[in-house]
Amino acid sequence: MTLPVAFLRAARVEFVEAAAWYEAHGAGLGVEFIAEIQTCIRRAAEHPLTYAAVYRDARRVTAERFPYSVYFRAQAQRIVVLAVFHGSRDPAIWQRRT
């Protein structure tokens, strides 16, 4: 069963801004980024407990092509995306959202 997905506002903004950045640096690259992150989110929604908790109850799905991870919290009826986060950024930023 695939759980519904909700985004924290900050995570949605990160996702949109990263996609725009990639699109500005290569035609079609933003679309590819969106597809990859959506794949990560789908995997999390389908099998949330497959991914180990990395900080408190936050779990992580790592993108394959881009240096990003999706951090999420698995709840009984949905998953909540906490961050769509570049690997070189300070993790304390997304950790404050847990």
Radius of gyration of the chain (CA): 13
CA 94-40-3 angle, to 5 degrees, is 90
Q: Which residues pair with 59 in a beta bridge?
A: 53, 72
pLDDT-derived band at 97, boundaries 50, 70, 90: very high
Q: Which residues pair with 55 in a beta bridge?
A: 58
Structure tokens at 38: 């959506």
pLDDT-derived band at 17, boundaries 50, 70, 90: very high
Q: What is the mean pLDDT of the chain?
A: 97
- Note the pLDDT of residue 62: 97
State the CATH class of domain 5-95. Answer: alpha beta
